[in-house]
Amino acid sequence: MGGNSVLYDKIIKGRSIKKDYKEVALTGYVKHKLRTVKTSQFFLKEGPLAILPFSKNYFSFVWSINKDFYENNSKKINNLAKSKIKNILKIKKNIQITNTQSYPLKLNLKTKYFNKNLLILGEGLHTIHPIAGQGFNLVLRDIKKLKEILKYYSQLGISFKNSFALDDFYAQRKIENIVFGLGVDVTHAFFKQNKYLDPFKEMILKNISKNNVVKKISKIISNQGLSI
Ligand SMILES: Cc1cc2nc3c(=O)[nH]c(=O)nc-3n(C[C@H](O)[C@H](O)[C@H](O)COP(=O)(O)OP(=O)(O)OC[C@H]3O[C@@H](n4cnc5c(N)ncnc54)[C@H](O)[C@@H]3O)c2cc1C
C-alpha cells in the first residue's frame, strides 16, 4: 500500500524516524534516438537528475527538486525537465517526455515491524530518498530474508503462528534498514548545494572516483546490502 497508508499506525504503535525533505521527485519516460545512454546522475543546481535506461530507445528520469521550485514552476515543469535533459545529454532534436508523475519526498523508518501476526512490508517499513536508488532494493532484501526464515520454520514443522518468525525477521533486518535509510539521508545532505562546501565536496569526489577499492566496496554494498 506504499508509504502513506494510515493503516500502519493502526497495526503498530511505535515511533518512527521521520523527516520531510520538502522536495518533490518528478519522474517520467523519455523516448530518444541516441545510440547509447548510460545510467547516470547529474547534480544540477535545482537538484539531482537521474537517467535510467530501460530499453533501446527509452529511459526514465528522476529529478528531485525543492518543493517551492516545483510549485512555482508547476505549469512548465515538464518543459524545464526536457530542456535540462537535452542540455546534459547534448541532444539537439526534440525529445518526448511521457508518463510524468510527482512524489513528495520523505524519510520514514519504522522502529517496529509487526503486531501479533501482522507484518508490514515494503515502503510501509522504510521510505527513503531516491537519490541512491536503494528503496526497492531494501524491500527485495527484506523479502529474501523473510523467505529464508519461513523456510527454516516450515522445515522444522513449526507453524508460523507459533514460531518466532516475525521476531527473527525484525532482528535480522532492522539494523540494515536503518543504517541504509540514514546513510542515504547523509548522502542526500552531502549532495545538497552549498557554495561554501562545494569546492571541498568536489575534491572528495575526485579522490573517491580515483580510488578503485572504495568504488568496488560501494558497488558491492549497493548491490548486496550490508549482510554480504
Ligand atoms: C521517485 C522515486 C524513485 C525511486 N527510484 C528507485 C530506484 O531507482 N531503485 C530502488 O530500488 N527504489 C527506488 N524507489 C523506491 C521504490 O519505488 C519503492 O521502494 C517501491 O516502489 C516500494 O514498493 P511498495 O510495493 O512497498 O509500494 P508502492 O510501489 O508505492 O506500491 C503500493 C501500491 O499500492 C497501491 N495502494 C495504496 N493503497 C491502496 C488501497 N487502499 N487499495 C489498493 N491499492 C492500494 C498504490 O496505488 C500502489 O500501486 C524510488 C521511489 C521514488 C518515489
**In the chain, where the domains are located:** 7-12+111-224, 21-106
| Domain 21-106 CATH (choose: 3.30.450.20, 3.90.226.10, 3.40.50.850, 3.30.9.10) | 3.30.9.10
pLDDT tens-digit profile of 17-76? 999 999 999 999 999 988 899 999 999 999 999 999 999 999 999 999 999 999 999 999
For ligand 1, is residue 177 a contact (CB within 6 Å)?
Answer: no
Residue type, 42: F
132/39 Cα distance (integer angstroms): 12
Answer whether 182 contacts ligand 1 (Cβ < 6 A). no
- Which of 6, 123, 129, 177 maximizes ligand 1 atoms within 8 Å of its Cβ, making it the mutation to test the pocket? 123
Q: Is the pLDDT of residue 228 over 60?
A: no
Distance of alpha carbon 112 from alpha carbon 118, whole angstroms = 11
Q: Residue 156 carries which side chain, given as an amino acid letter?
A: L
* Structure confidence by residue, pLDDT tens digits, 155-172: 999 999 999 999 999 999
pLDDT of residue 127: 97
What local confidence, expressed as pLDDT, does residue 4 receive?
87
C-alpha cell at 203: 575534491
By CB atoms closer than 10 A (0-12, 13-18, 19+), residue 183 is middle
State if residue 81 touches ligand 1 by the CB under 6 angstroms criterion: no
**Cβ contacts of 86 within 8 Å, gap of 6 or more:** 92, 95
pLDDT digits (tens, 9 = 90+) for 75-107: 999 999 999 999 999 998 889 999 999 999 999
Identify each DSSP E strand in 56-149 by its residue range.
58-66, 96-110, 114-115, 118-119, 126-127
Tally of CB atoms within 10 A around 59: 22
Centre of ligand 1 from the C-alpha of residue 104, in Å? 12
- Name residues whose C-beta falls within 8 Å of residue 135's C-beta, 6 or more positions apart in sequence: 123, 126, 127, 128
Whether 140 is in the pocket of ligand 1, judged by its Cβ within 6 Å, is no
Please report the pLDDT score of residue 224 as a whole number: 79
Over residues 202-208, the mean pLDDT reads 81
Structure pTM?
A: 0.91
